[in-house]
C-alpha cells in the first residue's frame, strides 16, 4: 500500500491556545515554563491527531513559537550583533529578534513566498559565522518518541535559507560553510534516533539560475554523502525544473501536484527504475475544498503503475500550516456549503482514504469514494455558486471602465484646491487599537447581551474618542479607527454575497497573529452600503478630512479561501465591482479621500516570471476598476505592506493611486530606492516611519531621520507621513507616544529647508 505523509501541521492550536500563551508570556503574566508547557501540549495533540488518522509519516521540528525561518536562523546561530552575543542567546533573544524591544529593532518581516504567512528575514553579514543549536529539532524528535510516535524532522534547506535572507549580494558564497553545519545537524538527528529527514527547498519553484542550481546540487550531494539518513527533498507552491534534480541522491522527492500537476509525467520518467520514492502532493494544503478523489487517484494510479506501490507517498501539496483545524466544528456554516469543505482534520482523512482506495478493488473504491464524490458533485451543481446578474455585469465591461478621467498632476491640483494640506501631511493607515472593551462589545452583540442600538451607540463613542485624539495630537488627515471591524477582509465579506464564515477557522499569520479567512464560494455582489454610515458619523465630528476606508479586491481575494472552479481573475473582477459600488457611495456622501487597501497585491505575484505579466495585468486592472469612477478632486489612497517593489514598479505606477502608503521603517527606507529609480514615482507616497508590529515606541529623532532619508530619495513635495500599517494590534500606551513623535518629526521637517531629492 502507498504510504501517507504530512509535510507540516498547524501549530497555533484549535482555539488559538498558542496565541494566548504567547501574549500572556510577553505581558509578564505567565512564565517561560508555562508557555513551553502549552507548546508541548499542542505538539503532542497534533502528533496524536495525525497518528489517529492513520498517517504513516508524521513531521516534527515544524512547530514554532513564532516562525520556522526564525527558528532556522536561531538554530544556525545567525543572530545579528545588536541582539547580543550569539553564544548567550536564549528565548528572550529569540523573541527580541521577532518583536524588537529595549531600543533594538527586530528582523524584517515579509511574506512566505506567495502566501499570507509572514516570515522573519534572516540577516547575513560579511564573514558570517554559523553555530549549530540543534535543540529545536532534536528535542521535538525525542518528545514525540516519548509518546510512542516516530516522526520525520523537517528542516528548511540551506539554499532556501540563504536566498530568503538579506545582507549579502552573494549569499551562496556561504553555502559550503553552511552545509557543514547542516551535516552536524543531520548527525545530531541520526544520533537521536531519526531515520529520515525532510529538507524543504521551496525556492526551487522560483526561477533559479544555472549557477544557483549547480551550487544546490553540489550541496545536496555533500549532505547525502555525509549521512545515512533517508533525505526527502521537499518542494511546494509550484513546479520545479526537474532536469537538474533528477540525478541527485535523495530517497524521496516531494512535488506539489495541486499547483503543478504537469510535473508528474517528467518525474515518473526520471524516477522509474531508480528505487527512489515520489511524494505526490495531491490534496491542497492551502485551500479548503474537498478533494476531487477521482482526479487525485488518477495521479496516484499513474505513479503506482510507473514506480510500484512501495515507491509512492500520498501527501498534501505543502504543510497544513495554512489551513484551520476542523471543518466539522463549523456548525454555523450552511450544511450544504460545509459539506464542500476540508480543513486539516478532513485532509488527514482524505489522505488515508486515497491510500486505501489506491489499493482497493473497483467495487471497494466506489464505496470509499461515495461521500467525497457526492460533495464534489453537490458543489458543481449548486445554484449558490452562480449569479447571472453578476456575470452579465462583468461581461459588459469595456476598456474605458478602468481609467480615471484625468492624469495625476491635474488631479493633484484639483484635490489641493478642494482640500489644502500642509507639506508632509500626516495620517494613519486606518485602524486604531482594538481594545478589550471593543472586543467585548462585539462578543456581547453576538450573544444578544447588547442590542443593535446599544452596540451602535458604543461604536459611535469609540469613533468620537479616536477623532478627538487625532485632532488633539495634530494629524492632518483622519480616520474613524475601524472599531466596528474585526478584520479588514472579514468585515467586508460578511456584507457581500458569495461568502461563508467559520467560527473556529483560525490560521497563523505570524507569531501570535491569527486570521480567520472568509470562504469565498460563489459569485460576489454587494447588497448595500457597508461603510458609509460610520464614515458619515466620523466626518460630522471634525472639519478635517476623514478617509473612507475600504479593502481592495486583490487583498480580499488573497486573504480568503477562494473558489477554485473558475479563474482567480474572474473572481477578482466580481470583487472589484462590488467594492466600486461602495466607492461610489462614499464619494456621493462627500468623502474627499478614499483609501482602497491592497496590502496583498505583491504577495499574489506568481513565483515564476513567465506567469507574472498576466497577474500584473488583471490585478492592477481590478484596482483601477474599483477606483475609476471617482471625480478628479476625490483623492484615492492605497496601502501595501511587506512588499518588494523592484520587479513590479511599472504596475505600481499603473495603479494610478493619488497616494500610496507602504511599509518602509524596518528596511531603513531602502524600499524607496525602487521608487526613486527611472525618473521617480510620479504620484504621492507615504513610506511608513515606524514599525507597528513591534511594541517599541520610536522617538521623534528616529522618525525625523527616516523622513530625511525618504526626502533624499523622493522629494518632500510628494511625501506623506504615516506608520507602516494599521494600529489594530497595538495598545494605546504604545500608539499615543508613537503618533505624537511622528507628528513632531513631521513638524520639525517642515521647519527645515527641503533638500533636493
Q: Could you tell me the pLDDT band of residue 53, with boundaries at 50, 70 and 90?
A: very high
Determine the Cα angle at 12 with ends 639 and 186, to 5°.
105
Which residues pair with residue 151 across a beta bridge?
58
Q: Residue 496, SS3?
A: coil
Look at 337 and 384; give whichever has higher pLDDT.
337
Nearest to 63 by CA among 9, 133, 135: 9
Domain ranges of the chain: 3-56+235-381, 413-431+475-483+531-751
Q: What is the mean pLDDT of residues 458-479?
A: 98
- State residue 755's pLDDT score: 55
Specify whether the CB–CB gap between 263 and 255 falls below 8 A. Answer: yes
Q: Is beta strand 593-597 parallel, antiparallel or unpaired with respect to 659-662?
A: unpaired
- Alpha-carbon span 138 to 530, nearest angstrom: 51
Specify whether the CB–CB gap between 560 and 509 falls below 8 A. Answer: no
- Alpha-carbon span 733 to 164, nearest angstrom: 34
Cβ neighbours around 329 below 10 Å, total: 18
CATH code of 3-56+235-381, in short, is 3.20.20.210
Is the pLDDT at 670 greater than 90? The verdict is no
- Alpha-carbon span 268 to 584, nearest angstrom: 54
DSSP H or E run through 97: helix 91-99
- State residue 300's pLDDT score: 98
Q: Could you tell me the pLDDT band of residue 482, with boundaries at 50, 70 and 90?
A: very high
Look at 262 and 690; give whichever has higher pLDDT.
262
DSSP H or E run through 370: helix 362-381
514 DSSP assignment? E
Least confident of 44-53, 138-147, 635-644: 635-644
- State residue 664's pLDDT score: 84
- Alpha-carbon span 709 to 23, nearest angstrom: 34
Q: Residue 741, SS3?
A: helix
507 DSSP assignment? E
- State residue 643's pLDDT score: 59
- State residue 642's pLDDT score: 58
5 DSSP assignment? B
Rg (CA), the chain: 26
Q: Could you tell me the pLDDT band of residue 8, with boundaries at 50, 70 and 90?
A: very high
Q: Which residues contact 18 (CB under 8 A, 6 or more apart)?
A: 11, 12, 38, 39, 42, 65, 512
Cβ neighbours around 486 below 10 Å, total: 15
- State residue 645's pLDDT score: 73
Interval 408-442: pLDDT, tens:
999 999 999 999 999 999 999 999 999 999 999 99
The sign of the torsion formed by the CA atoms of 733, 734, 735, 737 equals positive
Interval 573-632: pLDDT, tens:
999 999 999 999 999 999 999 999 998 888 888 999 999 999 999 999 999 999 999 999
Q: Residue 278, SS3?
A: strand
Cβ neighbours around 417 below 10 Å, total: 9
- State residue 756's pLDDT score: 54
Specify whether the CB–CB gap between 369 and 293 falls below 8 A. Answer: yes
Q: Could you tell me the pLDDT band of residue 102, with boundaries at 50, 70 and 90?
A: confident
- Alpha-carbon span 547 to 633, nearest angstrom: 14
- State residue 641's pLDDT score: 75
Interval 635-649: pLDDT, tens:
999 998 755 677 778
- Alpha-carbon span 474 to 747, nearest angstrom: 10
Determine the Cα angle at 292 with ends 11 and 554, to 5°.
60
Which residues pair with residue 290 across a beta bridge?
none
Task: Check for a shared fold between 3-56+235-381 and 413-431+475-483+531-751.
Answer: yes
- Alpha-carbon span 431 to 316, nearest angstrom: 36
Fold of 413-431+475-483+531-751: TIM Barrel (3.20.20)
309 DSSP assignment? G
Backbone angles phi, psi at 14, to 5 degrees: -55, -30
Interval 194-225: pLDDT, tens:
999 999 999 999 999 999 999 999 999 999 99
Dmax (CA) of the chain: 82
With b meaning 16 or more CB within 10 Å and e meaning fewer, what string describes 270-301?
bbeeeebbbbbbbbbbbbbbbbbbeebbebbe
pLDDT cut 70: percent of the chain above it: 99
- Alpha-carbon span 738 to 732, nearest angstrom: 10
The sign of the torsion formed by the CA atoms of 117, 120, 126, 129 equals negative
The pTM of this model reads 0.90
C-alpha cell at position 476: 492632518
Place of cell 551550487: 215
- Alpha-carbon span 380 to 357, nearest angstrom: 23
pLDDT cut 90: percent of the chain above it: 89
Q: Could you tell me the pLDDT band of residue 90, with boundaries at 50, 70 and 90?
A: very high
Average pLDDT over the chain, rounded to whole? 95
- Alpha-carbon span 16 to 511, nearest angstrom: 11
Q: Could you tell me the pLDDT band of residue 289, with boundaries at 50, 70 and 90?
A: very high
C-alpha cell at position 142: 525525542
- State residue 599's pLDDT score: 87
C-alpha cell at position 745: 518629526
- Alpha-carbon span 142 to 192, nearest angstrom: 7
Q: Could you tell me the pLDDT band of residue 52, with boundaries at 50, 70 and 90?
A: very high
Q: What is the mean pLDDT of residues 483-500?
A: 94
- State residue 16's pLDDT score: 98
Report the catalytic residues. Answer: 693
Amino acid at each position: 500500500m502507498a504510504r501517507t505523509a504530512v509535510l507540516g501541521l498547524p501549530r497555533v492550536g484549535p482555539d488559538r491556545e498558542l496565541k494566548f500563551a504567547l501574549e500572556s508570556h510577553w505581558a509578564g503574566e505567565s512564565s517561560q515554563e508555562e508557555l513551553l508547557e502549552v507548546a508541548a501540549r499542542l505538539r503532542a495533540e497534533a502528533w496524536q491527531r495525525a497518528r489517529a488518522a492513520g498517517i504513516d509519516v508524521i513531521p516534527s521540528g515544524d512547530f514554532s513559537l513564532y516562525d520556522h525561518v526564525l527558528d532556522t536562523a536561531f538554530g544556525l546561530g545567525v543572530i545579528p550583533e545588536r541582539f547580543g552575543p550569539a553564544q548567550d542567546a536564549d528565548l528572550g533573544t529569540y523573541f527580541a529578534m521577532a518583536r524588537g524591544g529595549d531600543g533594538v529593532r527586530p528582523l524584517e518581516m515579509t511574506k512566505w513566498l506567495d502566501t499570507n504567512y509572514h516570515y522573519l528575514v534572516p540577516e547575513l553579514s560579511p564573514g558570517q559565522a554559523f553555530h549549530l543549536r540543534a535543540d529545536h529539532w532534536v528535542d521535538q524528535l525525542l518528545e514525540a518518541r516519548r509518546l510512542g510516535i516516530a516522526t520525520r524532522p523537517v528542516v528548511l534547506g540551506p539554499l532556501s535559507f540563504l536566498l530568503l535572507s538579506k545582507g549579502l549580494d552573494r549569499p551562496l558564497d556561504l553555502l559550503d560553510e553552511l552545509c557543514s553545519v547542516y551535516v552536524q545537524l543531520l548527525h545530531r538527528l541520526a544520533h537521536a534516533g531519526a531515520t529520515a529527514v525532510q529538507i524543504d527547498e521551496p525556492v526551487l519553484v522560483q526561477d533559479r539560475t544555472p549557477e544557483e542550481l549547480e551550487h544546490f546540487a553540489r550541496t545536496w550531494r555533500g549532505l547525502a554523502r555525509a549521512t545515512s539518513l533517508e533525505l526527502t527533498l521537499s518542494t511546494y507552491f509550484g513546479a520545479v525544473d526537474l532536469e537538474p534534480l533528477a540525478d541527485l541522491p535523495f530517497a524521496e522527492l516531494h512535488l506539489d501536484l495541486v499547483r503543478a500537476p504537469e510535473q508528474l509525467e517528467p518525474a515518473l520518467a526520471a524516477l522509474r527504475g531508480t528505487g527512489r520514492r515520489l511524494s505526490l502532493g495531491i490534496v491542497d494544503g492551502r485551500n479548503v475544498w474537498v478533494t476531487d478523489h477521482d482526479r487525485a487517484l488518477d495521479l496516484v494510479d499513474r505513479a503506482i503503475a510507473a514506480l510500484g506501490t512501495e515507491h509512492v507517498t500520498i501527501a498534501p501539496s505543502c504543510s497544513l500550516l495554512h489551513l484551520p483545524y476542523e471543518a466539522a466544528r463549523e456548525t454555523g456554516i450552511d450544511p450544504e456549503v460545509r459539506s464542500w469543505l476540508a480543513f486539516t482534520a478532513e485532509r488527514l482523512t482524505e489522505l488515508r482514504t486515497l491510500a486505501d482506495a489506491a489499493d482497493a478493488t473497483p467495487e471497494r473504491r466506489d464505496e470509499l469514494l461515495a461521500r467525497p464524490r457526492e460533495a464534489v458533485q453537490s458543489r458543481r451543481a449548486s445554484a449558490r455558486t452562480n449569479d447571472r446578474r453578476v456575470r452579465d455585469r462583468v461581461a459588459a465591461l469595456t476598456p474605458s471602465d478602468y481609467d480615471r478621467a484625468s492624469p495625476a498632476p491635474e488631479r493633484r491640483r484639483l484635490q489641493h484646491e478642494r482640500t489644502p494640506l500642509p507639506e508632509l501631511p500626516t495620517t494613519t493607515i486606518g485602524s486604531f487599537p482594538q481594545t478589550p472593551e471593543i472586543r467585548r462589545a462585539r462578543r456581547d452583540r453576538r450573544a444578544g447581551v447588547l442590542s443593535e442600538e446599544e452596540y451602535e451607540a458604543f461604536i459611535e463613542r469609540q469613533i468620537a474618542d479616536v477623532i478627538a485624539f487625532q485632532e488633539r495630537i495634530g494629524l492632518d488627515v483622519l480616520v474613524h479607527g475601524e472599531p466596528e471591524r474585526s478584520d479588514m477582509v472579514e468585515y467586508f465579506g460578511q456584507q457581500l454575497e458569495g461568502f461563508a464564515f467559520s467560527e473556529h477557522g483560525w490560521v497563523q499569520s505570524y507569531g501570535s497573529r491569527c486570521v480567520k479567512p472568509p470562504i469565498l464560494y460563489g459569485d460576489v455582489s454587494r447588497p448595500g452600503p457597508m461603510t458609509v454610515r460610520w464614515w458619515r458619523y466620523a466626518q460630522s465630528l471634525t472639519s478635517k478630512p476623514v478617509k473612507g476606508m475600504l479593502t481592495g479586491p486583490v487583498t480580499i481575494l488573497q486573504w480568503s479561501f477562494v473558489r477554485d472552479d473558475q479563474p482567480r481573475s474572474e473572481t477578482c473582477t466580481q470583487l472589484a465591482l462590488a467594492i466600486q459600488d461602495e466607492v461610489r457611495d462614499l464619494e456621493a456622501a462627500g468623502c474627499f479621500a478614499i483609501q482602497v487597501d491592497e496590502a496583498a497585491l505583491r504577495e499574489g505575484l506568481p513565483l515564476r516570471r513567465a506567469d507574472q505579466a498576466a497577474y500584473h495585468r488583471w490585478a492592477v486592472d481590478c484596482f483601477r476598476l474599483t477606483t475609476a469612477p471617482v471625480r478628479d478632486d476625490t483623492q484615492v489612497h492605497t496601502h501595501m505592506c511587506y512588499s518588494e517593489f523592484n520587479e513590479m514598479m511599472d504596475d505600481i505606477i499603473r495603479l494610478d493611486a493619488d497616494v500610496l502608503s507602504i511599509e518602509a521603517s524596518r528596511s531603513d527606507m531602502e524600499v524607496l530606492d525602487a521608487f526613486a529609480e527611472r525618473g521617480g514615482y510620479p504620484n504621492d507616497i507615504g513610506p511608513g516611519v515606524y514599525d507597528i508590529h513591534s511594541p517599541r515606541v520610536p522617538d521623534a529623532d528616529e522618525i525625523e531621520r527616516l523622513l530625511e532619508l525618504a526626502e533624499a530619495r523622493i522629494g518632500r513635495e510628494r511625501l506623506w507621513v504615516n506608520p507602516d500599517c494599521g494600529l489594530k494590534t497595538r495598545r494605546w500606551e504604545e500608539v499615543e507616544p508613537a503618533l505624537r513623535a511622528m507628528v513632531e518629526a513631521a513638524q520639525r521637517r517642515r521647519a527645515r529647508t527641503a533638500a533636493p531629492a
